[in-house]
Amino acid sequence: MAEENNKVLGLDFERPVVELEKTIESMKALGKEENIDFSKQIRELEKKCNLLKKEIFKNLTPWQKVQLARHQNRPHTLDYITLLFTDFIELHGDRVFADDKAIITGIGKFEGRSVAIVGHQKGRTVNDNIERNFGMANPEGYRKALRIMHLAERFSLPVISFVDTPGAYPGIGAEERGQAEAIARNLREMSRLKTPIIVIIVGEGGSGGALGIGIGDKVLMLENAIYSVISPEGCASILFRDASKAPQAAQYLKLTANDLLEFGVIDEILPEPLGGAHRDMKFMKKVVSVAIEKSLKEVLHIPIDKLLETRYMKFRQMGKFIELEKEKFTNKKGKSV
């Protein structure tokens, strides 16, 4: 029942829009059932709804974008695979331990060109999320992704990576099987993989769990996605000893697409329809398709040695540092420190 109510009411800040849309749908159904013309009233409500959407979704706070990035109806990797690729064949297992269902890998065709695809996969229902481990990969997931990327390198296939995870799974078993080593190995191997890599952050980009499949020649990010070193809740727990201060932490983390473009962490922001990617899948298909096609055209003609050098320097140069002259400070006893 709680899940059904959430679907009706939506996120806290979008409830006025969801309720108004529900009213419009009810009026349309009643008009059709009773043969009554509500067209004028419906037009007025739709106009009001569009204005309300613009007012709400054009001025989202970082915390509201976090919530939107986690929306249960937001499209995930398998949705984009269905929308954008043909002849997709999923490939399973890391050939060491198991098949991690939190990461999808396989081969498909994009606009007639064969490509390798990797991506985090969340669920929508409770059972789905349990099966997919809420999109949090174990070491075998990252090793599976790397296996497919090496296969792509062998056959000169571009890699398309979809990032959408709260973070790598922090369980004891994952640590015992080498979670940190698996992610570190992926960072190293992706930095020197001899084939183009296009990364798209479609939902949550959480910490090393995101970076494990997030090194690429082009890093694109959806307008309402997030990308950060830690979750707002985790940051608030550490800094403020209070997870309820996550909205404040989200502000400090600079995790929105606009912030990350300014810092040079990503290359391009992909627009979403008002209300989020889940509201118009046709729109998202066009936007992401055009972005992938454009990115591939930009990198495919680059000689591989130059591509690797550019990729390496892209990530080495991230971050801004300001050096200040050392100032003398005094402690409570008046001594310089």
Domain spans in the chain, listed from the N-terminal domain onward:
2-58, 67-316
Contacts (Cβ under 8 Å, ≥6 apart) of 260: 221, 227, 254, 266
Report the pLDDT value the prediction gives residue 104, as an integer from 0 to 100.
97
b/e code 89-126 from CB counts within 10 Å (16+ = b):
eebeebeeeeebbbbbbbbbebeeeebbbbbbbbbeee
- Torsion sign over Cα 206, 60, 15, 28: negative
d(CA 264, CA 317): 9
Q: What is the pLDDT of residues 20-79, one digit of tens each?
A: 778 777 777 777 777 777 777 777 777 777 777 777 788 889 999 999 999 989 999 999
Contacts (Cβ under 8 Å, ≥6 apart) of 182: 139, 140, 142, 143, 212
Which of 38-47, 89-98, 190-199 comes out lowest in average pLDDT? 38-47
**Is the distance from CB of 174 to CB of 210 less than 8 angstroms?**
no
Q: What is the pLDDT of residues 206-221, one digit of tens each?
A: 989 999 999 999 999 9
Q: Can you count the helices (H) and strands (E) in the chain?
A: 15, 8
Report the pLDDT value the prediction gives residue 308, as an integer from 0 to 100.
96
Report the pLDDT value the prediction gives residue 92, as an integer from 0 to 100.
96
Which of 3-17, 36-50, 103-117 comes out lowest in average pLDDT? 3-17
Q: In a 3-state reduction of DSSP, which class is residue 166?
A: coil
Write the class of the CATH domain 67-316. alpha beta
At residue 126, φ and ψ (nearest 5 deg) are: -60, -50
Alpha helices (runs of H) in the chain, residue ranges in sequence order: 2-9, 15-34, 39-57, 62-69, 77-84, 126-132, 139-154, 172-176, 179-191, 207-211, 232-239, 246-253, 257-263, 281-300, 304-316
**Is the distance from CB of 249 to CB of 235 less than 8 angstroms?**
yes
Q: What is the pLDDT of residues 111-138, one digit of tens each?
A: 999 999 999 999 989 999 999 999 999 9
Q: Give percent of the chain with pLDDT exceeding 70.
A: 91
